[in-house]
Chains A and B, each alone.
Chain A
Amino acid sequence: MSKSKKRSTVKPILYSFLSFVLACTLFFMSLACIAKLTVFSRDFMLSAMSSEGYYAMVRDELRGELKNLGHASGLTDEFVDGFVDKIDIIKIENDYITAFYSGSNTLVDTTQFKQDLNAAIDEYVAEKGLNPDSVKEENVEYLVDSATSIYVNTVTIPFFSTFANFIYKYDTPLSVSIGGLALFAAVIICIIFFTNEYKHRRYRYLCYSTITATLCLAVIPTIVFASGYITKVNIATRALYNLFVSYFSSMFAQFYIFAAIFAVVSIILFIVFRRKYKKATGHH
């Protein structure tokens, strides 16, 4: 085999390999960007909460649970309705989520809730003119503790505290990784672009990478949505279930957005490639 023929075989393999490496880089950079925009984003979580009526559902669930408790402890449904209506669920949830993403204490402050409930019960006792013998301090305390426990379980999101540390710890490294991957991708693009003898080839190899990134990013959510797993999650409450479905549906939708961006870039690269190719081969 002549030296020039050998070079003409090696070069396409080398550039195809570079194309593959660039595709990997773009894919992982996209994953990191999606993570940054979703899992690591407080606004994404708050958006998922508000879009699915999460706050209203949490209020209804708290109301229902406290009514159940009331049936066992002598509180009327009207009392529970009035008490729950005064709770600012949106503020409580926002504070909880903000604390979660800032890495501070993710425990819900129950002081205000306990104070309000005790005050409401005192008012209720006075209004109803209940016999003091039927209102024992320890029983009321037990009731308030149980109600507080219900309140905490209702407004918190299970396992979030477990991930809080993870989010806070890896937020900066994730940003650095995105920057690193972007730099690495830029270097490969420069190599492909400036070392190729023919202009059309530059666009061809870049196009391979972007098409690959499009395919990879589109396949993942397609498999997830087709399997229907998101909607089959076992979560005990409607509010959390809806939040979970909304959160992960939006997260996987981000894959499609990134895939669409790469698809557009691929089309542009392909059009440029064809023009350059025609020009190089004398086709008009």
Chain B
Amino acid sequence: MPKHHSDHRSSYNGKNFIILPIIFSVIILGSCFLYIMMSASTLISVASMFFSDTEMDFSEQYNNIFVPVAESSYEGGSSGGQETVAISSIKYPKVGEQFGELIIEDCQINDKLFFGDGNVELNNGVGIYNGSFVPGYGKTILIAGHNNTYFNGLKYAKKGQIVKIRTSYGNYQYEITDIQVKKATDTSAYDLAANYENLIMYTCYPFDELGLTPYRCFVYGKLVSGPIIDKNS
């Protein structure tokens, strides 16, 4: 019997061909892992921010949560027995959702109202800047729209005209109180921290001109009627 026969019986059976490579692999990959974790942990933490839990959704479709309520809901008055709606009973819209309609009959405006003012929203209607608030919240409502499409009619806006906003939790009426043209960078045009309900609609100015302008047309409105959202309920 040759002398190395018994020494390598296990090799012939193939066990070493499995065990040793596995041990080697664990050592190599383990060392690489430890080295990367120690030397590039910051980079890995930063890189993890570029990943989410779900796959990206590039759909241009929007969600519509708007369910009209009866027209009579416009009645209610802004003084005396003001109608309220509990915050727990309303579905606060997510960015990109259509949650209402904006109508200015005198300006021939009848648009879908979105929460958010990104491309999908402004390609389908007008949108509330998501740093402002929804109607009835008692704060600033800042609504944007393109001057060549959905807010083109704002060129006919005049003081005293009525702006109607219909939502699933109530219908609102605002009266236009002022129209101003300001620079796009002029932050005095709006006060997002205001503690009273005020409507601001804006679009690029002048209307019907070719090219982009640094000016914006701001149309201001005050609440006439509509349920106030009770934030404590």
- Which residues does A use to contact B, with CB under 8 Å? 8, 16, 19-20, 23-24, 27, 64-65, 67-75, 121, 124-125, 130, 134-136, 138-143, 146, 198, 200-201, 204, 207-209, 211-212, 214-216, 219-220, 229, 231-235, 237-238, 241, 270, 274, 277, 280-282
Contacts and interface: CB of A to CB of B under 8 A. Distances in A.
Which 8 A-B pairs rank lowest in CB-CB distance, beginning with the nearest? A139-B211, A211-B21, A212-B24, A71-B146, A215-B25, A140-B211, A238-B58, A212-B21
Contacts of A212: 20-21, 24-25, 28
A241 B58 contact: yes
Given A211-B17, A212-B21, A74 B209 contact: yes
B208 interface: yes
Given A208-B20, A216-B28, A280-B2, A143 B212 contact: yes
A43 B111 CA distance: 49
Contacts of A75: 210
Contacts of B212: 69, 72-73, 139, 142-143, 146
Interface of B: 1-2, 4-5, 7-8, 11-12, 16-17, 20-22, 24-25, 27-29, 49-56, 58, 119, 122-123, 146-149, 204, 206, 208-214
Contacts of B123: 67-68, 71
B122 A71 contact: yes
B20 A72 contact: no
A67 B122 CA distance: 11
B211 A216 contact: no
Contacts of B210: 73-75, 121, 124-125, 130, 134-135, 139-140, 143
A234 B208 CA distance: 38
Contacts of A140: 210-211
B56 A233 contact: yes
B211 A208 contact: no
A198 B51 CA distance: 53
A237 B56 CA distance: 9
Contacts of A134: 206, 208-210
A231 B55 contact: yes
Given A20-B24, A216-B29, A232 B211 contact: no
A115 to B, nearest CB: 17
Nearest to A229: B51
B103 to A, nearest CB: 20
With a 10 A CB-CB cut-off, give which of B147, B210, B213, B214 has the most chain A CB atoms. Answer: B210
